[in-house]
Chain A
Amino acid sequence: MIDVRDVSRVYHRGADEVHALEHVSLFIERGRFVALMGPSGSGKSTLLNLIAGLDRPSGGVVEVAGQRLGDLGEDELARFRARHVGFVFQFFNLIPVLDARGNVELPLLLTKLGRAERRARADTALRVVGLAERADHKPSELSGGEQQRVAIARAIVTDPEIVVADEPTGDLDAKNAVEILALLRDLAREFGKTVVMVTHDPRGEAFVDEIHHLDKGVLRDTVAGGAGGGGA
């Protein structure tokens, strides 16, 4: 599903070069729940962005859902993301002026679905995350945990193969963090999504199938997570 081969990413900051990733190779099978871990600045987000088609590598090949992302232009990448990737962010990133349903419906506007169908799917996604009855609420009327669940509903509403999550529990308390982790795990277990999560949260280890440790832009090792999917 996700095939990262010998990938590097160099950022240019003025005259300086930052080697955020160096010769990283990584293969993730369909339906796995995977964590990327490592110290701050180790390149976790950079790798996640490459997998999600938000960024292009400086070297190497990123192949996701059968497409080589390095070959795609800006608008082709946008289409790739709309079709294949669901996003979950640390700070939820819901659109404040839209209610929960409006937020969840947003990615469906990029499909050919009609109005009624969009609405039905949005409501289904909200039901999956347990927030069907909050569909009319604005993000400001929801708790952090609820907002993140709406964000997850938004991430899965188009039925993408891949869900990426950058520190999804970073802004949540313990109880909500565990709920979100369980929800992400269920996306992989029950819906067959490939879920890639960047996290600092040690609680996450218990939920994932495999953990890839990054350090200074290099992939150090891969270990099985507590969910014990028997990866590495």
Chain B
Amino acid sequence: MALPLRYPLGNLLARRLRTALTIAVIALVVVATTLFGSLVSSLKRTLVSTGDERNLIVLRKGATNDGSSVLPLEAYQTVRFFDGIARDENGDPLASPELVVQPFFRTADGGRENVLVRGVEAAAFRVHREVRIVEGRAFRPSSGEAIVGRGVAGRYIGARVGDVLDFGRGHWKVVGMFESEGSSFESEVWVDVRELAADAKRSIPYSGLRVRAADGADMDALARRIDADPRWSLEATPEPEYYAKQAESANALYFIVVGLALLAGVGATFGATNTLYAAVQSRRAEIGTLRALGFSRGAILLSFLVESLVIALGGFAVGAVAAAALGRFVSWLLGGIAFGAATFTTSVIQLRVAPGDLLAALAMALVIGLAGGLAPAARAAKLRPIEALRRA
């Protein structure tokens, strides 16, 4: 038969300061785990959520991203008329030739970061359906205008609507801001593709091509046909697959974060162990009394484990609330978190604490509570009653 819950809870209250300190330590670990974890998962989510399953990205064979690809003009002219590519009401193919450059932008706090600037034509807005202008208007071709993603607008000098952005050789007037349902386009600047090529002195104006498959068309067949064309060695990949691959770069980061969280967790575990050893030591006579009254070793073990788990849950609760608040505050303060992605451009992430991140932190807190409480609880349970009752 177990001791009443009132007993471990009462003991926690009886040594408020120690309990509070231990809870605080675990809460710190929870905050760190949750925030770093959600940072990484937000990054992955941003990358993975980018791309449309009906879109193919066409790059030169061997290119790992559109920054390192080149697409000859003739290739574009040929591929866009392949069967299976959707057309608009005028009969024009939904094919968006794009040029990507990665100049440095200056941040408001004086840093320098690579930002992805994408040169596009009007077709881009029909291929990338999730992109929507939310402020101002689209750029006009050949007029030195740019539109910026929401993540860029808040972060860099001259990137707000109405500002003038300096990159490359030119000055670009920011005429609009767009959103893309949280995907990584929001970390980009879009300009007219021909203007961008001229500014960058690129003889080949395109780095890649995005095409939208017609409804009912066989995407695999289309991709195979592009891959197999002997004139240009090209490779077509469904966009979700492409971005998922980009997201793999977040995995390394993930391991670092997990490693750090584990280290902090081990520290907190020792803290909890320490607290409970002290509790066992100061309650020897009490434990002896309970054993004399007939409570089993198991009941004593359980009661100390409960104490430890309650501390851990307290730490989780405090930490989770703090992490959620801090996450909001940081996002509000910085307008997003910048991440160097594998392409060496910067992704601006909206930090969001997801249920999964909290669940991971909860699991961590419970493990801390169990691991930290086990040794002291076992020591308490092993105390022989006559020894525990003897006055030292």
Contacts and interface: CB of A to CB of B under 8 A. Distances in A.
Interface of A: 49, 52, 54-55, 74-75, 78-83, 87, 89, 91, 93, 95-98, 102, 106-107, 109-110, 154
A137 B13 CA distance: 17
A91 B294 contact: no
Nearest to B8: A97
B11 A87 contact: no
12 contacts: A74-B297, A78-B291, A78-B294, A79-B294, A91-B285, A93-B288, A95-B289, A96-B286, A97-B11, A109-B3, A109-B4, A110-B295
A93 B289 contact: yes
B289 A89 contact: yes
A74 B4 CA distance: 22
B154 interface: no
A106 B13 CA distance: 19
A107 B7 contact: no
Contacts of A106: 290, 293
A91 B388 CA distance: 13
Interface string B155-187: 000000000000000000000000000000000
Contacts, number: 65
B7 A75 contact: no
Nearest to B289: A93
B258 interface: no
5 closest A-B pairs by beta carbon, nearest first, are A82-B294, A97-B10, A93-B289, A81-B294, A78-B294
Given A98-B6, A98-B7, 14 more contacts: A74-B297, A78-B295, A79-B294, A80-B294, A81-B292, A87-B293, A97-B7, A97-B10, A97-B13, A97-B14, A102-B6, A106-B293, A107-B293, A110-B1
B343 interface: no
Contact of B286 (A49, A52, A95, A154): A95
B303 to A, nearest CB: 11
Contacts of A91: 285, 391
B1 A109 contact: yes
A49 B285 contact: no
Interface string B291-315: 1111111000000000000000000
Contacts of A109: 1-4
B386 interface: yes
Contacts of B294: 78-83, 107, 110
Contacts of A98: 6-7, 10
A79 B293 CA distance: 9
Interface in B1-58: 1-4, 6-7, 10-11, 13-14
A36 to B, nearest CB: 16
A102 B6 CA distance: 9
Contact of B389 (A89, A95, A110): A89
Nearest to A55: B386
A78 B4 CA distance: 18
Given A102-B6, A110-B293, A93 B286 contact: yes
Given A74-B297, A110-B1, A87 B14 contact: no
Nearest to A52: B292
A43 B14 CA distance: 36
B13 A93 contact: no
Nearest to B385: A54
Q: How large is the interface on B (under 10, 10 to 19, 20 to 34, 35 or more residues)?
A: 20 to 34
Counting chain B CB atoms within 10 Å of each CB, the highest count among A52, A55, A97, A110 belongs to A97
B126 to A, nearest CB: 70
Interface string B357-392: 000000000000000000000000000011001010
A81 B6 CA distance: 23
A96 B14 contact: yes
Contacts of B296: 75, 78
Contacts of B386: 49, 54-55
Contacts of B2: 109
A88 to B, nearest CB: 10
Contacts of B288: 93
Contacts of A102: 4, 6
A95 B292 contact: no
Contacts of A80: 294
Nearest to B3: A109
A102 B14 CA distance: 16
Contacts of A54: 292, 385-386, 389
Contacts of B10: 97-98
A81 B295 CA distance: 9
A149 to B, nearest CB: 16
B1 A93 contact: no
Contacts of A107: 293-294
Contacts of A82: 293-295
Contacts of B4: 102, 109
A102 B296 CA distance: 18
Contacts of B286: 93, 95-96
A78 to B, nearest CB: 5
B294 to A, nearest CB: 3
A100 B6 CA distance: 14
A164 to B, nearest CB: 9
Interface in B112-170: none
A93 B285 contact: yes
Contacts of A95: 7, 286, 289-290
A75 B3 contact: no
Contacts of A87: 289, 292-293
A10 to B, nearest CB: 14
A75 B301 CA distance: 14
A45 B46 CA distance: 72
A54 B387 CA distance: 10
A93 B284 CA distance: 11
